[in-house]
């Protein structure tokens, strides 16, 4: 009697292997705040997800971030690199470490985020003929810094970008049109291989409006790493201007301090600001929704951004925004509707804009409501995940 096929036989249950996705990122905490929901969604969509990040960094306690990444269902790998290091031997060590990870994991597709992962991961993907997604989340300190050394490093990075992003199997994500136009101008990436996805999305259930904080003083927060290019000096100068005018407000810096990183705020300077009660430093926040619930205004006088997630999170919480009229910042808001824009490195204009919102609670409420609607319509986490997963499928074809 001939054998019959049974639908539940061992042979019938053999399925094709899951597509293997590798995230290459320079900071576990950054991955948690910007890509962890995507990793979890990719696991749910049927990908075998791997995440390679440095397991130890000096700027912030890393273990909680690593635990959160593991909870997404991704497999963890230590990538021994330092994002602020530019020593030749250190960079060669990081490149070799990335090469070994890719060799061991053998991903079907790579997703590289921020400068070094894009440069190293992109070069490896091109040499090994693998599809890759590159996220240009901003130009970074070195594209803003001045001087001969900065110009030399920019030249080296530009050459690296040209090689890494030239992979025909790759797609490069830009968060604003200015950055994309600059890469076109510098001939760093083919136009046909680019896509615009503004930001990384916000969980509008987690970040939501709350009752106005109690107390008489208007609280203004600058939520960012304490780097010069984030406009920290201008924020403190604006606080001094407001104090001289007799405008009472509580102004707080919220973010970890990379004192030893290029462009980092000097430790002694920060202590002096706080001791003179010019501003407060709340340190690194592990609960940004709670931080925004204790604020009335969000302020980011940055020199340039990719697409600042903190401003979208603040808007989702119903806060009005004061930020600079520069790429990235102006793209994440609607001038005059959800935010007031000021010229870059202009403490006087920053103080004027803050004073306007401090004095007008009704205007703050109107802008906050408009900001919430903007996020729900255009910048939700679900929209970002849907676009990203579609991009993976396109690159794997």
The pLDDT value given to residue 11: 45
Tell me what the mean pLDDT of segment 165-173 comes to: 90
The residues, ordered by sequence, that sit 6+ positions from 117 with a Cβ below 8 Å of its Cβ are 24, 25, 26, 98
Residue 23 falls inside a structural domain: yes
The pLDDT value given to residue 347: 97
Residue 213 falls inside a structural domain: no
Against a cut of 0.75, is the pTM above it? yes
Let me know: does 188 contact 167? Beta carbons within 8 Å.
no
CATH of residue 329: 3.40.50.2000
Residue 13 falls inside a structural domain: no
Q: 81 with 130, same domain? A: yes
The DSSP symbol for 50 reads E
Q: 109 with 143, same domain? A: yes
The pLDDT value given to residue 266: 84
DSSP H or E run through 47 = none
Q: 110 with 229, same domain? A: no
> Which has more confidence, 302 or 7?
302
| pLDDT beyond 50 at 31 | yes
Whole-number Å distance between alpha carbons of 360 and 381? 31
Q: 192 with 108, same domain? A: yes
User: Distances from the Cα of 320 to the Cαs of 123, 190, 255, 299, in angstroms?
Assistant: 41, 37, 19, 9
Structural domain containing residue 283? 218-378
The pLDDT value given to residue 14: 52
Q: Take residue 218 and report the two structure tokens written for it.
A: 């208007």
Q: 87 with 188, same domain? A: yes
Residue 125 falls inside a structural domain: yes
| pLDDT beyond 70 at 225 | yes
Residue 4 falls inside a structural domain: no
Residue 5 falls inside a structural domain: no
The pLDDT value given to residue 56: 73
The pLDDT value given to residue 185: 87
Q: Take residue 338 and report the two structure tokens written for it.
A: 């959800």
Let me know: does 302 contact 231? Beta carbons within 8 Å.
yes
Q: Take residue 20 and report the two structure tokens written for it.
A: 């293997």
- How high does pLDDT run on average in the chain? 89
Residue 8 falls inside a structural domain: no
Q: 310 with 362, same domain? A: yes
The pLDDT value given to residue 265: 85
| pLDDT beyond 80 at 259 | no
The pLDDT value given to residue 278: 82
Q: Please give the tally of structural domains in the chain.
A: 2
The pLDDT value given to residue 58: 45
| pLDDT beyond 70 at 62 | no
Please tell me the least confidently modeled range out of 100-114, 173-187, 359-373. Answer: 173-187
Residue 81 falls inside a structural domain: yes
Q: 243 with 370, same domain? A: yes
Q: 181 with 245, same domain? A: no
Q: Take residue 21 and report the two structure tokens written for it.
A: 């996705």
Q: 259 with 226, same domain? A: yes
The residues, ordered by sequence, that sit 6+ positions from 340 with a Cβ below 8 Å of its Cβ are 320, 321, 322, 323, 353, 356, 357
Q: 237 with 366, same domain? A: yes
Other CB atoms within a 10 A radius of the CB of residue 3 amount to 6
pLDDT band with cut points at 50, 70 and 90 for residue 3: very low
Q: 174 with 40, same domain? A: yes
Shortest CA distance to 315 belongs to which of 387, 242, 370, 395? 370
For residue range 63-108, what is the model confidence (pLDDT) as tens digits?
788 999 999 999 999 998 876 556 678 888 899 999 999 999 999 9
pLDDT band with cut points at 50, 70 and 90 for residue 154: confident
Order of strands, sheet of 339-342, starting from the edge strand that comes earlier in the sequence = 280-283, 249-254, 218-223, 297-300, 321-324, 339-342
- Where helices occur in 276-360 by DSSP H, the ranges are 288-293, 309-316, 347-359
Q: 159 with 238, same domain? A: no
The pLDDT value given to residue 46: 95
pLDDT band with cut points at 50, 70 and 90 for residue 10: very low
CA 114 to chain CA mean position, Å: 8
The pLDDT value given to residue 311: 97
CA atoms within 13 A on the CB side of 327: 17
Task: Compute the radius of gyration of the chain from its Cα atoms.
Answer: 23
For residue range 298-325, what is the model confidence (pLDDT) as tens digits?
999 999 998 999 999 999 999 999 999 9
């Amino acid at each position: 009697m001939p054998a019959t096929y049974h639908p539940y036989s061992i042979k019938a249950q053999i399925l094709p292997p899951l597509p293997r996705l590798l995230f290459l990122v320079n900071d576990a905490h950054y991955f948690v705040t910007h890509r962890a929901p995507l990793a979890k969604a990719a696991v749910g969509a049927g990908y075998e997800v791997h995440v390679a990040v440095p397991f130890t960094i000096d700027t912030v306690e890393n273990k909680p971030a690593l635990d959160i990444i593991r909870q997404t269902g991704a497999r963890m790998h230590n990538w021994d690199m330092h994002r602020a290091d530019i020593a030749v031997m250190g960079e060669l060590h990081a490149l070799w470490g990335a090469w070994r990870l890719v060799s061991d994991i053998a991903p079907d597709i790579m997703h590289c985020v921020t400068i070094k992962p894009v440069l190293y991961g992109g070069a490896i993907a091109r040499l090994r003929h693998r599809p890759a997604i590159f996220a240009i989340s901003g130009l970074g300190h070195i594209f803003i810094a001045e001087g001969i050394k900065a110009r030399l490093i920019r030249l080296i990075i530009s050459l690296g970008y040209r090689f890494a992003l030239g992979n025909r199997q790759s797609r490069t994500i830009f968060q604003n049109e200015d950055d994309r136009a600059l890469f076109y101008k510098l001939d760093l990436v083919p136009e046909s291989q680019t896509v615009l996805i503004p930001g990384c999305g916000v969980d509008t259930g987690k970040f939501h409006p709350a009752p106005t904080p109690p107390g008489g003083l208007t609280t203004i927060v600058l939520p960012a790493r304490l780097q010069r290019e984030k406009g920290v000096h201008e924020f403190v100068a604006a606080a001094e201007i407001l104090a001289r005018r007799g405008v009472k407000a509580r102004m707080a810096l919220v973010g970890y301090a990379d004192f030893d990183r290029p462009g980092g705020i000097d430790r002694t300077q920060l202590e002096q600001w706080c001791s003179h009660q010019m501003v407060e430093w709340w340190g690194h926040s592990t609960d940004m929704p709670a931080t925004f619930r204790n604020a009335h205004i969000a302020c980011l006088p940055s020199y340039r951004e990719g697409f600042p997630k903190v401003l979208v999170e603040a808007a989702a919480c119903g806060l009005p925004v004061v930020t600079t009229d520069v790429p990235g910042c102006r793209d994440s808001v609607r001038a005059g509707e959800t935010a007031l824009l000021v010229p870059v490195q202009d403490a006087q204009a920053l103080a004027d804009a803050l004073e306007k919102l401090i004095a007008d609670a009704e205007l703050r409420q109107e802008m906050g409501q408009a900001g919430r609607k903007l996020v729900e319509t255009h910048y939700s986490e679900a929209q970002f995940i849907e676009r990203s997963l579609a991009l993976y499928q396109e690159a794997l074809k």
